[in-house]
Structure 1
Amino acid sequence: MVLLEQILAESWNVLCLSAPYMLFGFFIAGLLKAFIPDDFVARHLGKESKASLLKASLFGVPIPLCSCGVLPAAAGIRKQGASKGATTAFLISTPETGVDSIAVTWALLDPLMALLRPVSAFLTAMVTGQLVRTLDPDIKQEVKKNAPVEMFAMAPVAAPTAAPSGGCGCGCAAPAPGKKATIMERLRMGMRFSFGDLFTDISGWFFVGVVIAGFITVFVSPDLVDAYLGNPLVAMFVMLIVGTPLYVCATASTPIAAALVLKGLNPGAALVFLLAGPATNAAALSVITGILGKKSMVLYLIGIMVSSFLLGFAVDAVYSMTGLSAGWQTGAEEAGRTLIGTLSALVLFGLVLFGRGGHGSCSDPACECG
């Protein structure tokens, strides 16, 4: 019972530290959903060029999708004519980071890692996308301009039930002809998505990550980490082996990495886990093979592994040159018990218990779903 109380206490500290940043991340995700058109990404990725790789890598950085949630969105932009290289870049930068995981990284690790993480995701996406573009040239395909894609699609959905005549497919009343959504309607739709669909998709894995962080804090000692993961190269290799087949989203991987850093893991190894874990897992790789082909899937893995290692060494060098210590905020246990942190954690629990998921809701801001 004493050990259980310790695990719960440490998990609660991690949750309170990260909860305000989680809520902020979901709010920003709602704004992105509300004001960026669903087909915005697809319209910019059709050309086989370095510009499309750059756009795909940049577009993916703020979008908060996990390694499985990004698959239908990637399949959609691929069908619309996005090149293999651009699709690969989008598949990597999107799950490796997002506004929510960047905010949580700031809370549980430090501002430097919160900056280096999205930059590393962008570089990994660019390098791997270029690798696919060079070694597995794309077959030119026609862009289907009239087939909009959900940029924030969580998973493939079943065919909708019949809608009322003139409706939007969600069973809601149709908007008046020519009616445009107001700013408040767009905000309501974006927040309904962010704290509904998106929260449902991410929250379970995040709470699992928080509990795992509690276990690590209680059972893993600095001496144990030093004995088995003291060598930075060995530590990065272990993190790569553990992270590649594991299903863990960018947000859920953060408390796990933060707990290990607190015990002495070098920041470069933590970054390897933060990059490889969300971008790869056994289930997603089979779907990626169907989207890009076997050769591109192999190049996808190689690009992520090599880039993660190189960026891990680079991050260690940055921390060494600056004299900073990763995870300095993680040890501030009292910070986890602030009123704002406690209230934010309770809000997260409230969303789990009483929140209404947005699955099946209309994604059209002009649709009067109420």
Structure 2
Amino acid sequence: MSEVLTYVWNALIGIVVESWNLFAQMAPYLIIGFIFAGILHVFVSVKRISRHLGKSNFISVLKATLFGIPLPLCSCSVIPTVSTLHSSGASKGATLAFLISTPTSGVDSILATYSLLGPVFTIYRIFASFVAGVFSGVSANIFDRKKSADENVKKIACPVCGEHTDDHHHSFGARVRAMIAYSFGELVRDIGKWVLIGTLIGGAIAYFVPAGLITTYLSSPILQMLLMLVLSIPLYICATGSLPIAAALIMKGISPGAAMVLLIAGPATNAVTLTVVSKTLGRRSLIIYLSSIIITALGMGFLFDLLPWSAPTSSGMMVGMFEFPQIVKIIAAVLILGLIAYQIVSGIVVKSRHKRHEHECKEESSSCCSGHGHEPARKD
């Protein structure tokens, strides 16, 4: 019994150590990415973007892809934005291009990719997101020209005050406060727990998987890519949270192309997104959306493996990349962990208060109802 407990304890310590190494490497870049994400959220107007995406042509698809790549939205949080863009007049091609290019990249995940996998992998990942977005958008323009049944124009909320009115004039200070609130509040709340989950999975892979296991039993890069595709499509993995998993798999022998398949197909798809695409844009758009992801993920993964300079070094890092001092990594990691913990705890508190309020309302309602129509008859 003591041997089992010792093994479990050592395993937990090993996973925590490996996870910490991955997280600390990403942390400074995540903070920089969060700041850039807040700037984009506050100072780039979704309403202005929608004006460029109305036509069913290549230019609209190209603009949607370029607009989507830097935005820090995961495959779930991008859904409301996509719905607003489409109902504000964006074509199906532009909508699908935005829907694929946005969750597969983002300034936060771009910088985090650089931190774990180096500049070559980072540039190629951006290029792969671009290709996936353009390919899906052009395919939709060719094969799905039918208008959606419901395309009522919706008002777009202001990122500073949340109002839906048309005219907004906010001071620079108000915009900066909104930027900070988004960068270290809403964005951390949206992706924080997924980054933690991805980091823990990456740490577990790094600890448990022997160095030669993948190359011995799954040596074919094509089979590795197909396995990554099958595993990633139904699951939710955000663009940043998938990075520690990809880095750990590469260190254990998986091909860079197979890791690229995971980084494209994982963030772009999950069961919720597939359902919403089918409901909002139609089944034909869903088929185009899923087919585009499968084709581009496998194609870009296969092409990446052909590049002579695609493979990271044995440590999982690329040679020649900038390294933050260890103290900076530790401070950044502790800061982000604190922000994530705060958001998780505050979310639990809010849900608890909401449930308590609902329970009190039900009790008050039932007591009010029981007090009516059941009074004893008075004697005259």
Q: Distance in 2 between matches of 1:273 and 1:15?
A: 19
Q: Could you tell me which of 327, 341, 345 is aligned with 1:353?
A: 341
Aligned residue in 2 for 1:206: 195
The one of 58, 62, 66 equivalent to 2:70 is: 62
Amino acid at match of 1:89: A
**Higher RCO (Cα < 8 Å, 6 or more apart):** 1
**CA 1:168–1:336 in structure 2 vs 1: closer, same or farther (change >3 Å)?**
closer
Please state if 1:52 is matched with 2:21. no
* 2:183 equivalent in structure 1: 194
Asked if the contact 2:251–2:315 (Cα under 8 Å) also holds between the matched residues in 1, the reply is: no
Q: What is the deviation of 1:169?
A: 5.5
Q: How does 1:213-292 map to 2 (within 5 A)?
A: 213-292=202-281
Q: CA deviation at 1:113?
A: 0.7
| 1:102 corresponds to | 110
Is the Cα contact below 8 Å between 1:107 and 1:330 reproduced in 2?
no
Cα distance between partner residues in 1 of 2:123 and 2:175: 30
Compared CA separation, residues 179 and 142, structure 1 to 2 (3 A): closer
- Rg: which structure is higher? 2
Shift of residue 35, structure 1, vs aligned partner: 1.2
Q: Deviations over 1:222-246 (max 9, x none)?
A: 2111023321111111110011111
1:12 to 20, 23, 32: 20
| Count, aligned residues | 333
SS state at 1:233 partner:
helix
Query: CA 1:242–1:271 in structure 2 vs 1: closer, same or farther (change >3 Å)?
Result: same
Give per-residue Cα distances to partners, 1:76-108, cap 9 Å, x unaligned: 111111111110101100111100111110011
Give the whole-Å Cα distance in 2 for the aligned partners of 1:259 and 1:150.
Answer: 40
Task: Find the aligned partners of 2:103 and 2:226 in 1 and give their Cα distance.
Answer: 21
Spell out the pairing of 1:68-217 with structure 2 (5 A cutoff).
68-139=76-147, 147-149=154-156, 180-217=169-206
Structure 2, unaligned runs of 5 or more: 1-8, 351-380
More displaced, 132-141 or 279-288?
132-141
State the TM-score, normalized to the length of structure 2.
0.81
2:294 pairs with 1:305? yes
Aligned residue in 2 for 1:317: 306
How far is the alpha carbon of 1:38 from its aligned partner? 3.1
Q: Match of 2:192, SS?
A: helix
**Contact 2:37–2:72 (Cα < 8 Å) also in 1:** yes
Paired with 1:210 and 1:142, the residues of 2 have a C-alpha distance of 40
Q: Structure 1: how far apart are the matches of 2:266 and 2:186?
A: 22
1:366 maps to which residue? none
Give, in angstroms, the shift of residue 143 of structure 1: 8.1
Q: Segments of 4+ in structure 1 off by > 6 A? A: 140-145
Show structure 1 runs of 5+ residues with no match.
Answer: 153-166, 361-370
Deviations 1:55-79 (A, max 9, x none): 0111110001111111111111111
Question: CA deviation digits over 1:10-44, x for unaligned, max 9?
Answer: 11111110111111110000111121123122111
Are the counterparts in 2 of residues 38 and 148 from structure 1 also a CA contact under 8 Å? no
Please give the root-mean-square deviation of Cα atoms over the aligned residues, in Å: 2.7
| Partner of residue 330, structure 1 | 316
Asked if the contact 1:67–1:278 (Cα under 8 Å) also holds between the matched residues in 2, the reply is yes
CA gap 1:73/1:330 in 2 versus in 1, 3 angstroms? same
Task: Give the TM-score taking structure 1 as reference length.
Answer: 0.84
The answer to whether 1:24 aligns with 2:32 is: yes
> Which residue in the other structure is 1:157 paired with?
none
